[in-house]
Structure 1
Amino acid sequence: MRVSLFAVGRLKSGPEKDLASRYIDRFAKAGPAVGLEFGRMVEINESRAGNPETRKRDEAAELEKILTDQTQLVLLDERGKMIGSEDFAARIGSWRDNGRRDVVFAIGGADGLLPALHDRAAEVLCFGRMTWPHQIARILLAEQLYRATTILSGHPYHRV
């Protein structure tokens, strides 16, 4: 199963980009052993529209460009469902085992995600009730994808 990331906002060179890249690289190397492939990282600039609704529509339109009818969309949103790492890994494993070919995890911009995307998404998850900058959300997602791979493979990286 191919796993891709979509993010509103671009990471500039620095420790955040280095850390996110480190976990994405670990995921890309460890994933094939458990049937997971890193697809791509799509970064878009934040919309410069004058109001939040238009910005969310502009950003959603960019996300829609990479989705097909077969793509499993997972949104990261502070109002989403909180789950643990083992449940996250189990979901990914279930999607893979049920023949899902593509999954896209989407991180919205400062205004959040267009409500219509919530209707299309298979899952809406959060990393807690706090609001995280997109740079940190990307690091958290990359690490959890790597952690899911280690859980699915029985590797001791994840300890309970």
Structure 2
Amino acid sequence: MKLHICAIGRLRAGPEKALIDDYLDRAGKTGRALGLGPASVSEAEDKKGGGMPAEAALLERMIPDGAAIVAMDERGKLMTSPDFADQLARWRDDGIRDAAFLIGGADGLDPALRARADLTLSFGKMVWPHMLARAMLAEQLYRATTILSGSPYHRT
């Protein structure tokens, strides 16, 4: 199952991008034997200022057909890392070929797009800058692959 981070906003070269790239590379390498990965990032910018509906249209174009859709939103479900890993494994085992993780712009995800999600996931009640949310998601994708592979990276 391929893992896609679909985000509004462009990430410039710098420490956040290096961190995200590193975790996604690790997730791809660890996940390959598990049928998870590669992991990638797709980005878009709403240059016309159309707000959440325009951003939703940009994000929808990034979602592969038949993908499990995960809306990243502070109102979403709180999950443990092992539960998140188990969810990815269930989708993979059910024959889902892609999982798309949606990160909206400054105002979040359009409610209609959020309603389409198979899972709405939160990293807590606090709002995180989009670049940190990407880094945290990339790390959790890597952590999920290590949990499923039995690696000692994740210790409970």
Q: Shared topology, TM-score over 0.5?
A: yes
Q: Which residue identity lines up with residue 35 of structure 1 in the other structure?
A: G
Identity %: 52
Tell me the C-alpha RMSD between the 2 structures. Answer: 1.2
Equivalent of residue 136 in structure 1, options 132, 135, 138: 132
Instruction: Check if 1:82 corresponds to 2:78.
Output: yes
What's 2:57 paired with?
Answer: 61
Report if aligned partners of 1:2, 1:39 keep a CA contact under 8 Å in 2: yes
Partner SS, residue 37 of structure 1: coil
Task: Give ranges in structure 2 of 5+ residues lacking alignment.
Answer: none
Report if aligned partners of 1:47, 1:59 keep a CA contact under 8 Å in 2: no
Q: Which residue identity lines up with residue 44 of structure 2 in the other structure?
A: I
Report if aligned partners of 2:3, 2:36 keep a CA contact under 8 Å in 1: yes
State the alpha-carbon separation in 1 of the partners of residues 64 and 17 from structure 2: 28
State the alpha-carbon separation in 2 of the partners of residues 14 and 104 from structure 1: 24
Report if aligned partners of 1:47, 1:58 keep a CA contact under 8 Å in 2: no
Q: Which residue identity lines up with residue 66 of structure 1 in the other structure?
A: M
Cα 1:65–1:157 shift into 2, 3 Å: same
What's 2:68 paired with?
Answer: 72
Q: Which residue identity lines up with residue 99 of structure 1 in the other structure?
A: G
- Deviation track 1:74-119 (CA, whole Å, cap 9, x = no partner) reads 0100111111101000000110011111110011110110111122
TM-superposed CA distance for 1:63, in Å, is 1.3
What's 1:10 paired with?
Answer: 10
TM-superposed CA distance for 1:39, in Å, is 4.9
Cα 1:96–1:8 shift into 2, 3 Å: same
TM-superposed CA distance for 1:10, in Å, is 1.2
Report if aligned partners of 2:69, 2:102 keep a CA contact under 8 Å in 1: yes
Partner SS, residue 80 of structure 1: strand
Equivalent of residue 104 in structure 2, options 98, 108, 127: 108
Cα 1:43–1:60 shift into 2, 3 Å: same
* Deviates further, 24-33 or 37-46: 37-46
Corresponding residue pairs, total: 156
